[in-house]
Chain A
Amino acid sequence: MKNLRRAKWSNLAIIIASSIIVSGCNSSSSDEKEEVSQVTYTHVSQLGGDATAVSASDSGHGFSTPMPNLTTEQLDKHLAGDAHFETAFTTAPNSEHPELDGLGPVFNNQDCNSCHQRDGRSSTITLAQGQERVLLGPEAGIFLRMSIDDGECSNPSADNNYCKNAGVDGFGTQLFHRGVLKARDDWQENPFIGQADVYLAYQYSTVEYADGSSVELKKPIFTIEQPYDVSAENRLDSAILQANVRYSPRNGMPVFGLGLLELINEADILAIADENDSNEDGISGRPNWVFDPVKAKNNDPIPVSLGRFGWKASTPSVRVQSLGALRGDMGVTNPLFPDESIANTPLHESYLTRTNFVDTGVDEQGNTEASQEFSDEVVFYAETLAVPARRNIENESVIAGAQLFDKVNCTGCHQPEFTTATGELLVGGLPAPDGLKGQKIYPFTDMLLHDLGEGLADNRRDFTATGVEWKTRPLWGIGLTKTVNPAAGLLHDGRAATVEEAILWHGGEAQQSKADFMTLTQTDRQALLDFVMSL
């Protein structure tokens, strides 16, 4: 290895020098390059424009650096939010550290970082040899959303409660599988249990290519036990085990570059929507229109916005996404979401009664567990994390893969580029930092919903998104996924261990692209994967 590296260096000087000589003396070579590079993104390195990370894009710090174009004041606010992101919340009241209390009483994790490890994806839970299933606990960066199946909803209005999902009686719309010590009245037998236990198992299948090679795929299967609303003897009577309850897993996703996505002009997104597939390319793409708590708080007569974030584009802004997770995933009330997720349920009432109402979610002055300042800083943090730069962009296979990515029409949904908005702008109700504005970015998402087929379907509506639709995931930074967290998985439930597995799960509107990918030679498939890994 050592000798090889030295040989490589010896050649490097020649290669660098030669290329500069050719470039400087003979302009025709750049024309030849243009012939090869027909797609605009092939040689682009700075995927986030001026908001691209510096000196961190090759390592596990790639998702964790502030945008380099922040002002000093903005950087201070970002760093304060960074500290909050790693705050491990504790049971309230915590007299020594009141700034840390507010966890639960039921929750999915104790801090932001546990589901967004190093600001990236959470670890996919694996099973040991012979192990049939595992109980979701502190290691799990995944939880279940749930709601009553009430059919589709397409035009949000006050009449249909803006297409909000109907929660399960006594539970709500998110299953909290962990709790503070005394969350349940059976805590002495089952310390730290939440609304119910959730177990994870896997169902395996194999996909074969025409050339005989194959890939094993795994699909998570969840089972629920010990729901709080019934005893062990009559557990099937629980409200969450009824046939009309729909579940959908939600894995933690990367949190960098969100401010840039937030600043893509709504008109630019809607311009590429093609709800009825009028161009007959088999790909529709439609927006999710969602309830906007910020608009509602500001008494907007129509509190509905374009959904931008979350696996089904079900939240309109980083503010709603982040503070919703703060209240939901961790149980920390905040000014935008001042009530506990389980407020007015029998579980909450029992908890409050047994613990003498010391953890109601608001203090005597009406202050929530997270202050406005804390909330603003954690939102700002998520809005201003830099996008990692690409790697290996001059690698031949990567360059070839860039063409193939377009050829098999991955770009049909993974829209390469946008330019962010300019002017006086509000994001989540506050002025947008200038560093986010007017940036030419390459997120590789159209921000729209697409039918991805039965294989990925959760069969649960989310505002106007149907049970087979998902928002196109941004691909920027995806090649650093395992660098940031070697145990991370892709897709909404972490089922895909590799980009290749993720592609093979695509169906529906992406069926043709997947089929085209599968008919490529092994070399070309690898080239396409190399390109995606360079992002």
Chain B
Amino acid sequence: MLKKSLLALALSSVFLTGCGGSSSEAPVVTGFAFEATEMITNLTNDVIVAGYKNLNDEAAVFLLATQNLANTATEENLAAAQQAWKDVRVHWEQGESHIFGPVDALSIDPHLDTWPLNTSDLQDLLDSQSGFNATELKAFNDDVQGFHTMEFLLFGDGVADNEKAIGEMKDLEREYLSAAAEVFKTHTQTLFDAWTVANDPNDDKSPAYKDLLLTADNAVYASQLGVVEELINGMIGIVDEVGNGKIAEPFGSSIDNIDTTKVESQYSWNSLADFTDNIQGVQNVYRGEFLGQADKTGIIDFVTAADAAIATRVDTEIADAIAAIKAIAGDNDLPFRQAINDADARVRIQTAIDTLTTLQASLENDVLTQLKEWQQ
């Protein structure tokens, strides 16, 4: 790698030699070099595709858990399905740091994660139909399927608690849940296949989406610049959404202005885990590896090539944001739904918002801007 300052120096010397003029007359050219192939390969295969594989694998576990619950209504099977829902949720939320490509093109995001759900329609369906299967449920509107519909069926309305007794769950609800989980699994499989087999599920000659990133000189990515820009903007997008949307909107401008109905994953009280996983997903892309894995090449290496101090600072800001979100629960382990209505917790929430604001500003002003300096 060639650092920005070294490059500028190297180019300056060429100008002087070529024109014979004074250094003050030479145009100032800045820039830095970074060989991005290894980073793109790693982020594509070991972060994005690996994440979608985890999502698909956990979706299979979740489907099985819902089928067990549909077949045998026990507290244990309900608890297992609830835990499986939380487990699969981890990989989806972490993957929200790279929402581009098939997840959008194939409408998988709205199929899996439409919020809010339509509890009224859901109840009307449960009251009017004699049974449910995946084929017919797949044609239903998105607001009566996906994560949050299944969450509502598994955990109840979340107002007083996030626990549901098996006796509160009707046979048709379990059947609906199982059918929804089956549809869900088809979507996660489609997403994984689009990245690894063919980006158009109906055209086996279309390239796997991962190959479009790995061989950036095609109709989707004209160059590696586009891929890196995609990855950085993806991180910015989810930091913005968590800080200014998922947390700030229910939080409101004051304790008298909160809105619990806007809390994502409010039925399961999984909100803080969602937000943490969102920013964990940012760290995965930034560092190039999942938490606890050996060091690999990530965006941090790209930024280091441009300015090592910025790279380190942003890495710290990501870690700070994760810690600040986790700290919202406090010693009494408040769920987010209750925390927005607690004066002490609101101080911690404001701290989390501030750290996310700082991180977003750094990604926009100090990281994204390096693309202009990058000499591929």
Identify the A interface with B (CB < 8 A): 1-2, 5-6, 8-9, 12-14, 16-18, 20-21, 24-25, 55-56, 58-61, 83, 88, 90-91, 94, 96-97, 100, 110-111, 114, 117-118, 123, 126-129, 131, 135, 137-139, 178, 180-182, 188, 191-192, 391-392, 479, 482-483, 485-488, 498, 533
Contacts and interface: CB of A to CB of B under 8 A. Distances in A.
Contact of A2 (B38, B233, B369): B38
Interface in B179-219: 199-204, 209, 212, 219
Contacts of B114: 88
A6 B18 CA distance: 24
A96 B233 CA distance: 32
Contacts of A56: 229, 233
B221 interface: yes
B116 interface: yes
Task: Tell which of A8, A58, A111, A178 has the most Cβ of chain B within 10 Å.
Answer: A58
B287 to A, nearest CB: 21
A182 to B, nearest CB: 7
Interface string B222-242: 111111011001000100000
30 contacts: A1-B37, A2-B37, A5-B35, A5-B376, A6-B35, A9-B376, A12-B375, A16-B11, A16-B375, A18-B18, A58-B223, A60-B230, A61-B229, A88-B110, A88-B114, A90-B118, A94-B120, A110-B143, A131-B202, A138-B107, A139-B106, A188-B129, A191-B125, A192-B141, A479-B222, A483-B221, A485-B104, A486-B102, A486-B105, A498-B219
Interface string B1-30: 010000100110011001101000001010
Please report whether the interface of chain B is mostly helix, strand, loop or mixed according to DSSP: helix
B121 A180 contact: yes
Contacts of B128: 188
B140 A533 contact: no
A55 B29 contact: no
Count class of interface residues, chain B? 35 or more
B18 A17 contact: yes
Given A97-B261, A188-B129, 10 more contacts: A16-B11, A17-B15, A20-B18, A55-B368, A60-B101, A100-B116, A118-B104, A126-B200, A483-B226, A487-B106
Contact of A485 (B105, B121, B233, B368): B105
B247 to A, nearest CB: 15
Contacts of B237: 61
B124 A59 contact: no
A123 B15 CA distance: 49
Contacts of B116: 90, 96-97, 100
Nearest to B240: A79
A126 B221 contact: no
Contacts of A126: 200-203
A123 B200 CA distance: 10
A117 to B, nearest CB: 6
B164 interface: no
A162 B201 CA distance: 46
5 pairs of A and B residues whose beta carbons are closest in the complex = A21-B18, A58-B226, A17-B14, A487-B105, A59-B230
B141 to A, nearest CB: 5
B101 A486 contact: yes
B33 interface: yes
B105 A117 contact: yes
Contacts of B2: 9
Given A117-B104, A138-B142, A55 B372 contact: yes
Given A60-B101, A129-B202, A483-B226, A20 B15 contact: yes
A188 B126 CA distance: 11
B89 interface: no
Nearest to A193: B139
B18 A91 contact: no
A355 to B, nearest CB: 10
B172 interface: no
Contacts of B225: 58
Interface in B86-123: 100-102, 104-107, 110-111, 114-116, 118, 120-121
B233 A61 contact: yes
B222 A123 contact: no
Contact of A88 (B36, B142, B221): B142
Contacts of A135: 139
B371 interface: yes
Contacts of A138: 107, 110-111, 141-142
A504 to B, nearest CB: 16
B220 interface: yes
Contacts of A392: 222-223
A131 B201 CA distance: 13
Nearest to A530: B222
B18 A25 contact: yes
A90 B143 contact: yes
A139 B110 CA distance: 10
B375 A9 contact: yes
Nearest to B115: A88
Contacts of A88: 110, 114-115, 142-143
A178 to B, nearest CB: 8
B105 A123 contact: yes
A25 B19 contact: yes
Contacts of B371: 55
Contacts of B14: 13-14, 17, 21
Contacts of B7: 13
Contacts of B233: 55-56, 59-61
Contacts of A13: 7, 10-11, 14, 375
A391 B37 contact: no
Contacts of B11: 13, 16-17
B143 A128 contact: no
A453 to B, nearest CB: 26
Task: Tell which of B18, B36, B219 has the most Cβ of chain A within 10 Å.
Answer: B219
Given A126-B203, A191-B140, A20 B223 contact: no
B14 to A, nearest CB: 4
B202 A128 contact: yes
Contact of B199 (A55, A90, A483, A486): A486
A392 B14 CA distance: 25
B35 A59 contact: no
A9 B128 CA distance: 66
Contacts of B118: 90-91, 94
Contacts of B203: 126
A180 B125 CA distance: 12
Contacts of B129: 188
Nearest to A14: B14
A55 B223 contact: no
B368 to A, nearest CB: 5
A373 B105 CA distance: 30
A90 B148 CA distance: 15
Contact of A9 (B21, B33, B139, B141): B33
B1 to A, nearest CB: 10
Contacts of A498: 219
A313 B110 CA distance: 31
Contacts of A60: 100-101, 104, 230, 233
Task: Tell which of B11, B120, B369 has the most Cβ of chain A within 10 Å.
Answer: B120
Interface string B272-310: 000000000000000000000000000000000000000
Nearest to B245: A83
A181 B142 contact: no
Contacts of B230: 59-61
Contacts of A487: 102, 105-106, 199-200
A516 B151 CA distance: 59
A191 B104 CA distance: 25
A2 B143 CA distance: 46
B124 A58 contact: no
B229 A58 contact: yes
Interface in B30-51: 33, 35-38
Contacts of A110: 110, 141-143
Contacts of B222: 58, 391-392, 479, 483, 533
B31 to A, nearest CB: 8
